Structure 1
Amino acid sequence: MSEAAKPRIVVVGAGPAGIRAAEILAAGGLVPIVIDEGERAGGQIYRRPPPGFTRPAEDLYGSEAAKAVALHQTFDAMAAAGRLVHHPRSSVIAIADGRLQVIGDAGARWMSYDRLILATGAMDRVMPVPGWENAGVYGLGAMQIALKAQGAALGRSIVLAGSGPLLTLLAVQLLKAGGQVAAVLDTTPMRRQLRGFAGLSARLLFALRGLMMRRRLAGIYHAGVRLERIEADGRGPVAVLWRDGAGRNRRTPCDAVGLGWHLRAETRLADLAGCDFAYDETWRQWLPQADGMGRAGRGVYLAGDGLRILGADGAEVAGRLAAAACLQDLGLPAPDTAGDERRLARLNRFARGVAEAFPWPAEAAAGLPDDTVVCRCEGVTAGELRKTVEFGGGEVNRVKSLGRVGMGRCQGRYCELAAAEIVADGAGHACAAAAGRLRGQAPVRPAPISALVQDVATDG
């Protein structure tokens, strides 16, 4: 097949899923175009520091160092050999008519594609806490990025709060790097965490490794807590007020707070690409729908945490499957996928176990005090949101249009899940699914006005 006749395949995201997808496509004789917001491939989980950064991979990625280095080397070798085209520091902000609007160092342009693989990953799933709108309150992912990319701890005395594997992992990473962690506050009781053991046993060694990490947090880890408030002054947090599992009031002084309740899939581009969505009660999220290989229809394929929260290993498998599906649909030779399909089934069982063990605190979100800021972008409080529900009805897009929740620069990524719980509770719905989901719209990332009003160049 001549170069001109080869279909144009675009992969969005250069984390584990995107890298493995590009590898399979390149092995199939194609030259995929990989668009990524990072300067160097690796994604969030295997984020690389700037060139010249001297910390060894073992310090950055721990037990996953060998996997991280292998992925980095695989991608770099393909790029150097011209087997893929890499657009770093670039964001896809819109999808329309088989084209992507991309902004990057060269400005804005439209890029056409024949097939599209979205490997957009995940982000922190954050629940509002009274006082979380203050400077010095971060997502757990942001704290981990600062640690990996710059070797920096965002605070001298840090409280980490929420639930999920990242809570434990980040605490251990900060301690190993010399950071001071004052407390690790897990809102999930231990008895609930044990409910997910059947699923977690699908990756027993991985689960045991997590338990070993938990042991390193003896004395600062507390399960089954209730977060009351983040106290702050003009410079940022000064303490976290919380209740322990026995109901006793506690106060932990700090100068920085990290929040996160596991992860949520990044689905905005899948929405613009026309993918179907369904509410997943286990994850309490609206997730895009695809077949077992990642086919989501209309020449679009989904892979990695942007489809299901499966972690780095699952993302690699899903990336290979999506690329193989793409090759099959193009009538090109594709690798055998039976082994990866079995692996994906096992990883799905493990992921369900994680979701069972570390659930989204829906009741706490629905019961947030009226003065709690829910939407930090627009400053909308829980009380204002409830009043909007009273005269606007129990559908999140209507509430958004009347009360501005989710209308800021993050497009609801941080407030949507909690807002849906409040809306559903206020409207008397049995489940947040009945409140609907916020519709995606372009631009999905903050973009300069020039990118939206100029004559945008077309690439292909």
Structure 2
Amino acid sequence: MSDQKHIVIVGAGPAGVRAAETLVAAGLRPVVIDEAARAGGQIYRQPPADAGFARAKSALYGMEARKADAVHSTMANLMSKLDYRPDTLVWGCGAGQLDTFHAGRQRTVPYSHLLIATGATDRILPFPGWTLPGVYTLGASQIALKAQGCSIGWRVVFAGTGPLLYLVAYQYAKAGAQVEAILDTNPFSKQFAATPRLLKQPSTFAKGLYYVGWLAAHGVRIERGVRIVRADGHGAVQGITFSDGAREMTIPCDAIGFGYGLRSETQLADLAGCRFSFDALNRAWLPERDTAGRSSVAGVYLAGDGAGIAGADAAELAGRRAALAMLEDLKHPAADIGEASKLDRQLSTIARFRVGLEQAFAPPSDCASAWPDDMTVCRCEEVTAGTLRRCIRDGEASEINRLKALTRVGMGRCQGRMCGAAAAELLSAETGKSMADVGRLRGQAPIKPVPLSIALTADMNGADDLSPIPEHARDE
């Protein structure tokens, strides 16, 4: 049976690794494609093999070091039993095939069963000055620390909201950086009110309390319930100004890490034809799936944060669950109904906890009205808030794809991953429509930048025979 099926997993984070482990244990040999050079995903990102520095996993991952090591070790033990393709970008998806790019070469990879575990990225809500050198997302701040062994600046302020805000600040402070302040846009009262749901996972809740307590005990300034007014500076960041509702204050700094939680990377699921629906809790459009991870498209499965933000623990469980669903659909004897039921219960508990997190750290829903007209919303195409407002107020656009067509917002290198949420928020504020009613940006190939020659010649390259990438080519 394994010789007749082309099983492909996209993503080698916690979800992808656990799915691969489950399929390999059943005697199958999946293809695992990952954009990163080493497995682990963003949460357990590993430094490059030739990074030129060494940091213990306890320093890189803190209290999650054992979990990170378990994921890394599992993948290392699976290497001879699967077809692993690191440093490989999946940029397109058609009926039963993926378009990939590795080491300057286009490959079309066929699949009969596809598990999408593409993870998440930062939710970006801009503010004046956010394009200044020295302003980074929280995710980029983590990458600098984990993969490059450096801080984004000497004196850093972290701003926005969400559990990642405190985790990254803690990681930076532990690494020796000077964390000047944490600016959380949600008030403490809102976070306290979510405590009953957060106690559904007491150990995770306790970790969050520890991070906050440690930071406070080490003199890190924490301001809650604030509004980010602007990043200050000429040519580079020199400070950040925020408001507590009564007055504006400025904190000198040379770097800012910001983000408003995470948003799922859903473009590949979109190209695969998955049906989407609006998720009010995540304030985002997400691909539909059943509790096992089956999408609306037969043979396409979804797991991890790419299908809905739930965290690394849930991603591992969801990866296993989706793999079991695949085995069940293949009528494979290794499909374990008892194990599937256990995973369902565990995921249900985490889902209730996640409701509490989203309530405690909801992104601001009224920020777009305060954006000045000259503020850049789309960096790639240099589209300002004023350009978007004029288009909307002239009655030319009341739906996000129409706004994209008329202003080019979301047409650049990021394909809307950085500016899409902001454009939708502004459109909602200007029209009075809900976020669900303004629609979602439709995915377009290539979902990430590739050489123009690759995109133009993709259809002429033919299908891959699923032969592994040679070892020497992986290192190029």
Do they superpose with TM above 0.5? Answer: yes
Per-residue CA deviation, residues 348-375 of structure 1 (Å, 9 max, x unaligned), is 1111111110001110134322222111
TM-score (norm 1): 0.96
Higher mean C-alpha displacement, 97-106 vs 302-311: 97-106
Alignment of 1:329-368 (within 5 A): 329-333=329-333, 334-335=335-336, 336-368=339-371
- 1:216 partner SS: helix
Q: Is the 8 A contact 2:58 2:65 kept in 1?
A: yes
- 2:233 partner SS: strand
Per-residue CA deviation, residues 296-333 of structure 1 (Å, 9 max, x unaligned), is 02210000001111100000000000000001001102
Structure 1 spans left out of the alignment, 5+ residues: none
Partner of 2:145: 147
CA distance in 1, matches of 2:349, 2:16: 21
CA distance in 2, matches of 1:31, 1:305: 24
- 2:125 partner SS: coil
Alignment of 1:354-433 (within 5 A): 354-391=357-394, 392-429=396-433, 431-433=434-436
Match of 1:204 among 189, 202, 216: 202
Alignment of 1:12-51 (within 5 A): 12-51=10-49
- 1:371 partner SS: coil
Aligned residues: 453
Say if 1:434 and 1:94 are closer, same or farther in 2 by CA, change over 3 A: same
Per-residue CA deviation, residues 140-192 of structure 1 (Å, 9 max, x unaligned), is 00000110112210111111100000100010100100111111100101111
Q: Is the 8 A contact 2:92 2:445 kept in 1?
A: yes
Q: Is the 8 A contact 1:123 1:141 kept in 2?
A: yes
Query: Percent identity at matched positions?
Result: 48
Structure 2 spans left out of the alignment, 5+ residues: 466-476
CA distance in 2, matches of 1:367, 1:422: 10
1:456: how far off?
A: 2.3
Q: Is the 8 A contact 1:393 1:427 kept in 2?
A: no
- 1:182 partner SS: strand
Partner of 1:195: 193
- 2:130 partner SS: coil
CA distance in 2, matches of 1:365, 1:205: 36
Q: Is the 8 A contact 2:366 2:429 kept in 1?
A: no
* 1:133 aligned onto 2:131: yes
Per-residue CA deviation, residues 420-444 of structure 1 (Å, 9 max, x unaligned), is 1211221221x11111001001000
1:452: how far off?
A: 1.3
Partner of 1:220: 221
Partner of 1:322: 322
Root-mean-square deviation (CA, aligned residues, Å) is 1.2
Per-residue CA deviation, residues 180-231 of structure 1 (Å, 9 max, x unaligned), is 1111100101111123222211111211211111112224111011111111
CA distance in 2, matches of 1:248, 1:97: 56
Q: Is the 8 A contact 2:87 2:102 kept in 1?
A: yes
CA distance in 2, matches of 1:99, 1:40: 24
Give the aligned residue type for 1:117: L
Q: Is the 8 A contact 1:366 1:418 kept in 2?
A: no
CA distance in 1, matches of 2:94, 2:138: 33
TM-score (norm 2): 0.93
Higher mean C-alpha displacement, 257-266 vs 189-198: 189-198
- 1:388 partner SS: helix
Q: Is the 8 A contact 2:401 2:440 kept in 1?
A: yes
Alignment of 1:150-161 (within 5 A): 150-161=148-159
Alignment of 1:18-97 (within 5 A): 18-51=16-49, 53-79=53-79, 82-97=80-95
Q: Is the 8 A contact 1:174 1:181 kept in 2?
A: yes
1:457: how far off?
A: 4.3
Say if 1:395 and 1:329 are closer, same or farther in 2 by CA, change over 3 A: same
- 2:28 partner SS: coil
